Structure 1
Amino acid sequence: MKTKVILQCGFIMAHLFCGLKVSGQSVLTLPQLKEDFQFFRTAMEEAHPGIYRYETKSVLEDSFDVVSKALVGPMTQQEFYKKLNPIVARIGCGHTKLMPSEDKGFMYYYNTENLFPLKLFLEGHKAYVLSSYDSSIKIKPGTEIIGINGMAIKDIINGLLNNLFSDGHNQTFKYYELNRYFSALFSNFYLEEGMGNDKISITYKDHGRKGRMDLPVVSYQWIKEIDEEEGNKIPYQLEFKEGNTALMTIRTFWPDQEKYNFEEFLKQSFASINDKNIQNLILDLRGNEGGKDGFGALLLSYLMDAEFRYYDKLLLATNEKFSFVEHAQLPEGYDQLRALITQTEDGEFRWEHNENLNIQTPQENRFTGEVFVLIDGACFSVTSEFSAVAHSLGRATFVGDETGGGYYGNNSGAFAIVTLPNSKIELGIPLMAYYTAVQDYEFTDRGIMPHYQVQPTITGVLSGRDEVMERTMKIIKKR
């Protein structure tokens, strides 16, 4: 994700929780809930530059009013979080975050000692076992899970989709989050904190035969260790394949610059590609959630033979001081930076100090052959910006699944981190709306649609096949 100015939290605390405890959590009184809700609504309406980008003002006002009326009695933090979350999801901004805790782990907010122990792969409204976080659980990979704790898996998936954030009305990024964080999300929304959930019941189907099993829960620390082992990969690499084809894999646009120099990688890679007279370049961006926006424009400059525009404009909600500033951490020097915001005649508040707003110049050692970009729902933020402009310019053939990031841009850049004074829930609001220099796209509220759609299947994943790469190589050979 575009994390240029994502900030750590540390705020003035205006109120204290009351002393009563339920299920291990402090209970918020109705006046406390009402106050927090008003802070939440005010912050979103004042600061979010894309709050009405995909939903009308009247629709969102109705959503706020529904939740306000539902606050009729004391609640735990988790209960309150579940009331607020669908509003944030409805805005259609994958960079906006609602974070109940900062010390347990991203997405892992509640029941972190009692988590669902299976790693799942979702296809539509079906869920299949990929593996288990607990080796004592004897269940075959590929087994279909049809229910958890008496709830149909279809209903669980629908409920979680309504609580996940993505750009516009995109679904592929939500499925990416579901596949990656199902254990956390299930615990956040379907288990109550502190209720002694030491077993989770599942119903399953294996070769048409149904069964039931009680599974032992696992802790977040156990999941974290296993996931970190699987996630340690080189951020980018170059390989040469048969048929005058090169494969460039870029897993992130936010690498450790002390260990990996992205600019040097591109310079050396394209020099080598041209020296070998490569005709086809496969650019694998799957799983790349974004990073530094300048890296997207830089990569595209190695693929273009003429000048091009990358960003069309960058907008903010206002140049006024926020009313909730005492409960927020803002970018360093934000009061001084506000003076640089330009208000146009039509009332837009623009930020005109980003190099990607300038005309972009092709690199001297650019690649002029065929480009194939592999994409999926994890392609977000900078990755979707690059893909959108390359797609709009007709520079590449896209293979895979719809990107998670919006075609016309996103809301990101600098962030305001607002702490609700009573519940201590943290609301991360992006302060800048990015608009890519694209046009005439059919799906105004979606990501980049591939020219060749290929969705991985549970059969392909379990057999170790890369179905997207296989399809790409067939396309190249056919051409």
Structure 2
Amino acid sequence: MGLKTMLHLGFYIIQFLGVFVVSAQNTLNPSELKEDFQLFRTALEEAHPGIYRYAAKSSMDGSFESVGTELDQPLTQQEFYKILNPVLTKIGCGHTKLMPSEDKGFMYYYNLETLFPLKLFLDKNRAYVRYSYDTRVKLEPGTEITAINGMGMDRIINGLLKNLFSDGHNQTFKYYELNRYFNALFSNFYLEEGKAHNQFNITYKHRGRKGSMNLPSVSYQIVMEHDTEEQNGIPYQLEFKNSKTALLTIRTFWPDEEKYNFEAFLKESFAQINSNKIENLILDLRGNEGGKDAFGSLLLSYLVNAEFRYYDKLVVATNERFSFVEHAQLPEGYEQLRTLITQTEDGEFRWEHNGNLGVQTPQENPFKGRVYVLIDGACFSVSSEFCAVANHLDRVSFVGEETGGGYYGNNSGAFTIVTLPNSKIKLGIPLMAYYTAVKDYEFTDRGVVPHYQVQPTIMGVLSGRDEIMERTM
């Protein structure tokens, strides 16, 4: 098994290890905090292959040292988490995670019975109501929320953005996470665990009128029941928009392989596309956070008529045994796999056992018409790799929003899960730095910027319009 195929296993491990709930937070004394922090820093410096990819060592050292000055007094786990998290985000790695031990689900860590009751649409520094999780709340969809508990939305949004992970200096993935998990994030960073938060005071404006009101809190269970209903479980599908245009939707590169065969789906789909003499192919990758890297290069092989490179190199931090192994859960077989790591003459450690490192061959009958790829901030990991190489080959046109993953690659693959012994916070560190076979891109620290930029609006969302698809058609 290649290291990157263990990506989702890493996240499953994180979720499995975090299912128990601590009823109350204990206070950690300074010596316990400093012990945890030293392990936190050591693990990142030893294992993270891209810790200095976007931030200079001097900058990271300064961030680490600033944390040390805040650990001279007792802190709860939540307070400690809020100190560590912004430092981690400075690495610029969307695959790096910091997860407190009592999470029920990803991003939901604190105040799970008293969450903010509105689903919001965040647009820059403004927030609009999509719907309420509580039927007693009578706020018209589209109402702008200007403050929560006396804090302006611009201050709240900017504070949360500093605590969200993304590749490089990308912002669209952060907004994707913000829109998806606002209720959790607000509770994690703006509500103190253990105190009563049975209601929220908001100020709002709508149709020229301003007002304020108190909203009842809702539970995590209610939020999950409502949000799960919105998800479409079909991983990919082919439709024909008209006699000349096909729509290929791929929502994930990590489908349930017992139910769905991705290779067979692509083979059958492109056979139909070519037999129908389609001229325009719309490839919808919106919401696709990635998965199996071989699927990205496979998809691209159906769109090009010449050999191409996909990955330039795969880099790891070291081939030495980590000093923190007693606190870490490593990928299965990692001790054997690390013996296969090679070192270049300039001292770089490489993993050279990935099929995407070789020259990729196009399919026998690839699609030769026009290709329009729909993208947004959720296009991450494998999806952003595919987009970067396709853009480099000048094969497709992009419509929508900037991809969330880095143009020049990301840090992912297998993970080590480090448990800080006193706080029980879990640190998920990707062990592989992926470098796509691209060059000469204008933005070295961003994702793929679309040729035709389309930003969804609250009015479009509420009316059920697909503004990106409309522009594409």
Do they superpose with TM above 0.5? Answer: yes
Whether 2:404 is the aligned partner of 1:399: answer: no
Whether 2:262 is the aligned partner of 1:257: answer: no
Gaps of 5+ in 2: none
Match of 2:469 in 1: 469
Q: 1:413 & 1:180 partners in 2: Cα distance? A: 24
Whether 2:338 is the aligned partner of 1:338: answer: yes
Q: 1:452 & 1:175 partners in 2: Cα distance? A: 19
Identity between Structure 1 and Structure 2 (%): 73
Equivalent position amino acid for 1:326 in 2 = E
Q: C-alpha deviations, 1:32-59, integer Å up to 9, x for none?
A: 0000000000000000000000000000
Equivalent position amino acid for 1:141 in 2 = P
- On the 8 A contact 1:11/1:419 being kept in 2, the answer is no
- On the 8 A contact 2:15/2:105 being kept in 1, the answer is no
Q: C-alpha deviations, 1:359-413, integer Å up to 9, x for none?
A: 1111113111100000000000000000000000001000000000000000000
Q: 2:199 & 2:271 partners in 1: Cα distance? A: 56
Match of 2:141 in 1: 141
Query: How far did 1:75 drift?
Result: 0.4
TM-score by structure 2 length? 0.96
- On the 8 A contact 2:236/2:251 being kept in 1, the answer is yes
Equivalent position amino acid for 2:47 in 1 = A
Match of 1:94 in 2: 94
Query: How far did 1:102 drift?
Result: 5.6
Q: 2:164 & 2:107 partners in 1: Cα distance? A: 11
Match of 2:296 in 1: 296
TM-score by structure 1 length? 0.95
Q: RMSD value over aligned CA atoms?
A: 1.6
Q: How does 1:97-112 map to 2 (within 5 A)?
A: 97-101=97-101, 103-112=103-112
Q: 2:16 & 2:238 partners in 1: Cα distance? A: 44
- On the 8 A contact 1:5/1:413 being kept in 2, the answer is no
Q: 1:255 & 1:102 partners in 2: Cα distance? A: 28
Equivalent position amino acid for 2:25 in 1 = Q
Match of 1:183 in 2: 183
Query: How far did 1:230 drift?
Result: 1.0
Match of 1:347 in 2: 347
Match of 1:433 in 2: 433
Whether 2:27 is the aligned partner of 1:8: answer: no
- On the 8 A contact 1:398/1:450 being kept in 2, the answer is yes
Match of 1:58 in 2: 58
Equivalent position amino acid for 2:458 in 1 = I
- On the 8 A contact 1:11/1:328 being kept in 2, the answer is no
Q: 2:219 & 2:263 partners in 1: Cα distance? A: 40
| Residues 110 and 138 of structure 1, relative CA distance in 2, 3 Å threshold | same
- On the 8 A contact 2:301/2:360 being kept in 1, the answer is yes
- On the 8 A contact 1:235/1:252 being kept in 2, the answer is yes
Match of 2:417 in 1: 417
Q: 1:56 & 1:126 partners in 2: Cα distance? A: 32
- On the 8 A contact 2:311/2:435 being kept in 1, the answer is yes
Match of 1:246 in 2: 246
Aligned to 1:200, the other structure's residue is in SS state strand
Q: 1:262 & 1:134 partners in 2: Cα distance? A: 39
Match of 2:44 in 1: 44
Q: 2:94 & 2:229 partners in 1: Cα distance? A: 26
Q: 1:293 & 1:9 partners in 2: Cα distance? A: 21
- On the 8 A contact 2:15/2:106 being kept in 1, the answer is no
Following TM superposition, where does structure 1 have runs of at least 4 consecutive aligned residues deviating by more than 4 angstroms? 9-12
Aligned to 1:8, the other structure's residue is in SS state helix
Equivalent position amino acid for 1:175 in 2 = Y
Equivalent position amino acid for 2:115 in 1 = L
- On the 8 A contact 1:9/1:329 being kept in 2, the answer is no
Query: How far did 1:103 drift?
Result: 4.5
Equivalent position amino acid for 2:175 in 1 = Y
Q: How does 1:188-199 map to 2 (within 5 A)?
A: 188-199=188-199
Q: 1:234 & 1:378 partners in 2: Cα distance? A: 17
Q: 1:459 & 1:5 partners in 2: Cα distance? A: 38
Q: 2:436 & 2:387 partners in 1: Cα distance? A: 10
Aligned to 1:46, the other structure's residue is in SS state helix
Query: How far did 1:126 drift?
Result: 0.3
- On the 8 A contact 1:286/1:379 being kept in 2, the answer is yes
Deviates more, 1:372-381 or 1:241-250: 241-250
Match of 1:150 in 2: 150
Query: How far did 1:464 drift?
Result: 1.2
